[in-house]
């Protein structure tokens, strides 16, 4: 892993929005995914925040990103106006959560029907992603923060946190005191260049280099 940073460079708290092309997202697959589950995708972060399983017409079982059951959700049909809590039940059966003002036709897939997921459920799913690291938020140094603005380098901060929680921990390859490297596999839904409008899951390895004394990310890299 090639890095270029100052070991004691101060970290800052950042808030990022997805820079991914429309229709693409990251997923950290749960160890025991629910049977017949479909992803719930948050376009704001560009990642899967949970899963849904159809139980009856207009009724879904909702699971968090770790595959843990959260609640039953009844999703009545809504008018075709989009607000921050609207979702599209898209062609391959997945919910998709849209940013404010984002049109359905920009999702990169054909929309079958629009439904609404309750704000309580959205808050639960997003909140569970923030659990871990003893409640401490992650910081970043300036260089990896700049990478987050590049669509080809962007990885949701919540996903990097999950890799730190669940990935393999090892010493910094350059043996820098206080730095540790975390690695884990993840998946990204990407467009099939040979067949526009179709998508497939591609496996990557994400590496995150962390200064553990203040939980600051000094470098990250995802690769095939």
Residue 212 lies in a domain: yes
> pLDDT confidence of 136, banded at 50, 70, 90?
low
Residue 115 lies in a domain: yes
Reply yes or no on whether the pLDDT at 182 is more than 90: yes
152 plus 122 within the same structural domain: no
Gap between the Cα atoms of 97 and 42, Å rounded: 5
219 plus 148 within the same structural domain: yes
Residue where one domain finishes, among candidates 129, 159, 187: 129
179 plus 118 within the same structural domain: no
Dig out the tokens for 74 from the structure.
Answer: 């009844």
81 plus 174 within the same structural domain: no
Residue 9 lies in a domain: no
Gap between the Cα atoms of 21 and 107, Å rounded: 9
Residue 76 lies in a domain: yes
> pLDDT confidence of 88, banded at 50, 70, 90?
very low
Query: What pLDDT was estimated at residue 130?
Result: 67
Residue 11 lies in a domain: no
Query: What would the mean pLDDT of 87-91 be, rounded to a whole number?
Result: 43
Query: What would the mean pLDDT of 7-22 be, rounded to a whole number?
Result: 85
Reply yes or no on whether the pLDDT at 75 is more than 80: no
Dig out the tokens for 18 from the structure.
Answer: 């997805």
Residue 54 lies in a domain: yes
62 plus 112 within the same structural domain: yes
Question: How many structural domains are present in the chain?
Answer: 2
Query: What would the mean pLDDT of 164-182 be, rounded to a whole number?
Result: 93
110 plus 147 within the same structural domain: no
Query: What pLDDT was estimated at residue 142?
Result: 94
Residue-wise DSSP of 114-176: EEE--HHHHHHHHHHHT--GGGPPPEE-HHHHHHTTSTTT---HHHHHHHHHHSEEEE-TT--
Query: What pLDDT was estimated at residue 76?
Result: 56
120 plus 195 within the same structural domain: no
What's the chain's average pLDDT?
Answer: 76
Residue where one domain finishes, among candidates 129, 153, 178: 129
50 plus 105 within the same structural domain: yes
- Give the angle subtended at the CA of 36 by the CAs of 32 and 38, to the nearest 5°: 90
Gap between the Cα atoms of 211 and 97, Å rounded: 33
187 vs 76, which has greater pLDDT?
A: 187
Residue where one domain finishes, among candidates 98, 129, 160: 129
- Candidates 139, 136, 50, 143; CA nearest to 97 is 50
151 plus 216 within the same structural domain: yes
pTM above 0.75, yes or no: no
> Residue 176 is part of which domain span?
133-223
Using CB atoms within 10 Å of the CB of residue 208, give its burial: 0 to 12 exposed, 13 to 18 middle, 19+ buried: buried
Query: What would the mean pLDDT of 18-29 be, rounded to a whole number?
Result: 84
């Amino acid at each position: 892993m090639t890095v270029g940073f100052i070991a004691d460079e101060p970290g800052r708290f950042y808030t990022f929005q997805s820079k991914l092309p429309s229709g693409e997202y990251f997923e950290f697959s749960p160890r025991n995914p629910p049977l017949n589950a479909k992803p719930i995708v948050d376009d704001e972060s560009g990642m899967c925040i949970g899963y849904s399983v159809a139980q009856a017409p207009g009724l879904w079982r909702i699971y968090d990103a770790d595959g843990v059951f959260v609640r039953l959700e009844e999703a009545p049909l809504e008018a075709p106006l989009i607000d921050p809590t609207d979702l599209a039940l898209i062609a391959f059966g997945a919910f998709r959560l849209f940013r404010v003002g984002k049109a359905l036709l920009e999702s990169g897939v054909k929309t079958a029907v629009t439904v609404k997921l309750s704000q309580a459920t959205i808050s639960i799913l997003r909140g569970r992603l923030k659990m871990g690291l003893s409640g401490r938020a992650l910081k970043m140094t300036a260089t990896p923060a700049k990478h987050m603005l590049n669509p080809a380098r962007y990885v949701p901060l919540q996903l990097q946190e999950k890799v730190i929680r669940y990935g393999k921990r090892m010493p910094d390859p350059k043996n820098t005191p206080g730095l540790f490297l975390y690695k884990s596999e993840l998946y990204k839904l990407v467009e099939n260049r040979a067949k526009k409008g179709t998508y497939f899951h591609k496996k990557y390895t994400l590496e995150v280099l962390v200064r553990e004394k203040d939980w600051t990310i000094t470098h990250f890299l995802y690769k095939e």
